[in-house]
Amino acid sequence: MKLQNKIFQISCDGGAATGKSTGAKMISKRYKLKFLSSGLLYRYASFLLIKYKPKDKIKFLRKKFKKLNYKKLNEINLHTIEISKQSAIIAKIYKIRQILKNFQTNFAKKNKNCCIEGRDISTKILPNSDVKFFFKCNLKTAAFRRYKELKKDNKIKLKEVKKALRIRNNHDINRKSSPLLKHRDAIEIDTGKLNKKAMVKKMSKYVEKIIKIKYGNRTRIK
């Protein structure tokens, strides 16, 4: 039995540079799920606001996201310190969050088998997802990961990255609208203690368990 025309959805949450994007991408590839990064959406929104400086930000973004081709986002360099700082700011704006939330929920409706990663996926976007993961790691490890990612195209110091991540995580945890929270059913993945192979192995263990419970022992996603 194959999961064609059936629903199987995974939600991945966690702080900045905790490895949730890597984990979500790898598990999506393994189980042939459509993948969406909400963080990339916020970065793209920030990129647009920085580039065009619209007077009416809400109207401008609503129009842009109505016709957005998500796949094209990978063609733009969205990983800069300026964009990271702007993303932390707009993430606190309720109306902007609603625009991006609508894009994410529509994506989930169109793609029955999907994996979405972000900061409020399990609590707001996919509260009924089959498997929920919550990623974490220590700040030192997260900062070094982001530093390696940014230094390719930016002259930046590790201590600046560490400071930016600390501020971002504080914003995410304490904002009023959809704060970063661990869902009560979420499985914790500490990426500071796992390499990529071990991370995917741990995630797969839980995914396989839920597939068997929901659809039977012979079921697999194609």
Q: What is the per-residue pLDDT across 157-183, written as a single tens digit (0 to 9) for each?
A: 899 999 989 988 998 899 888 899 999
For residue 17, is it within any domain? yes
For residue 220, is it within any domain? no
Q: What is the DSSP string of 108-133?
A: HHH-SEEEEEESSIIIII-TT-SEEE
Axis crossing angle, helix 158-174 with helix 81-90, rounded to the nearest 10:
10
Q: What is the pLDDT of residue 113?
A: 93
Write down the pTM of the prediction: 0.92
Q: Could you count the other beta carbons within 10 Å of the beta carbon of residue 42?
A: 24
- Under the banding of pLDDT at 50, 70 and 90, the label for residue 80 is confident
For residue 164, is it within any domain? yes
Average pLDDT over residues 8-27: 96
Q: What is the pLDDT of residue 151?
A: 76
What region, left, alpha or beta, does residue 220 occupy, with left being phi > 0 and alpha being psi -120 to 50 degrees?
beta
- The residues near 142 (Cβ < 8 Å, ≥ 6 apart) are 15, 16, 17, 18, 165
Whole-angstrom distance, CA of residue 56 vs CA of residue 184 = 38
Q: With beta carbons less than 8 A apart as the criterion, state whether 157 and 103 touch.
A: no
For residue 2, is it within any domain? no
For residue 128, is it within any domain? yes
Q: What is the pLDDT of residue 150?
A: 81
Mean pLDDT lowest among 46-55, 81-90, 184-193, 196-205: 81-90
DSSP state of 32: T
Task: Give the whole-number percent of the chain exceeding pLDDT 90.
Answer: 75
Q: In what order do the strands lie in the sheet with 34-37?
A: 34-37, 113-118, 8-14, 131-136, 187-190
Total of domains in the chain: 1
For residue 53, is it within any domain? yes
Q: What is the pLDDT of residue 1?
A: 38
CA quadruple 207, 209, 210, 216: dihedral, nearest 10: 120
- Which CATH number covers residue 119? 3.40.50.300
Kindly tell me if the per-residue pLDDT of 221 is higher than 60.
no
Give me the domain span that covers residue 115.
Answer: 8-215
The model's pLDDT over 113-135, given as tens digits with 9 standing for 90+, comes to 999 999 999 999 999 999 999 99
For residue 3, is it within any domain? no
For residue 221, is it within any domain? no
In a 3-state reduction of DSSP, which class is residue 59? helix
Average pLDDT over residues 49-73: 96
